[in-house]
Amino acid sequence: MHNSVDDLQQALSQHDYIAERGLSVAIYLALKTGKPLFLEGDAGVGKTEIAKVLAAMLDTQLIRLQCYEGLDINTAVYEWNYAGQILHLRLMEREGLSRQALESELFSPRFLLKRPLLQAIEESRDAAAPVLLIDELDRSDEEFEAFLLELLSDFQITIPELGTLKAAQPPVVVVTSNRTREIHDALKRRCLYFWIDYPQFQKELRIVERKAPDVAPMLARQITAFIQDMRSLELFKRPGIAETLDWTAALIALDQNELSLEAVQDTLGVILKYRDDVDMLDAATIQNMLERARVEAQRAG
pLDDT at 163: 86
Separation CA 208–CA 203 (nearest Å): 9
Contact 114, 130 (CB under 8 A): no
Region at 96 (left for phi over 0; alpha for psi -120 to 50; beta for the rest): left
Q: Kindly report the CA angle at 178 between 282 and 252, in degrees rounded to 5?
A: 45
Query: What is the Cα Rg of the chain in Å?
Result: 24
d(C-alpha 267, C-alpha 43), whole Å: 20
- How much is the pLDDT for 123? 82
Closest Cα partner for 81 from 109, 106, 111, 107? 111
Query: Can you give the pLDDT at residue 94?
Result: 72
Residues facing 134 on adjacent strands: 65, 175
Q: What is the pLDDT of residue 68?
A: 94
Closest CA relative to residue 108, chosen from 119, 100, 116: 100
Close Cβ partners of 193 (under 8 Å, ≥ 6 residues apart): 26, 38, 40
Among residues 175, 137, 135, which one has the least CA distance to residue 39?
Answer: 175
CA–CA distance, 172 with 2 (Å, rounded to integer): 14
Predicted confidence at residue 196, as pLDDT, reads 96
Given this model, what pLDDT does residue 16 score? 92
- Model pTM score: 0.88
Evaluated on CA atoms 104, 109, 114, 119, the torsion sign reads positive
Q: What is the pLDDT of residue 277?
A: 95
Give the residue from 119, 175, 179, 131 showing the smallest Cα distance to 149.
175
Task: Give the integer Cα–Cα distance in Å for 219 and 259.
Answer: 6
Per-residue DSSP letters for 51-117? Answer: HHHHHHHHT--EEEEE--TT--HHHHTEEE-HHHHHHHHHHHHHTT--HHHHHHHHTSGGGEEE-HH
pLDDT at 105: 73
pLDDT single digits (tens) 140-188: 998 898 888 878 888 888 888 888 888 888 899 999 999 999 999 999 9
What residue ranges of the chain have pLDDT lower than 50? none
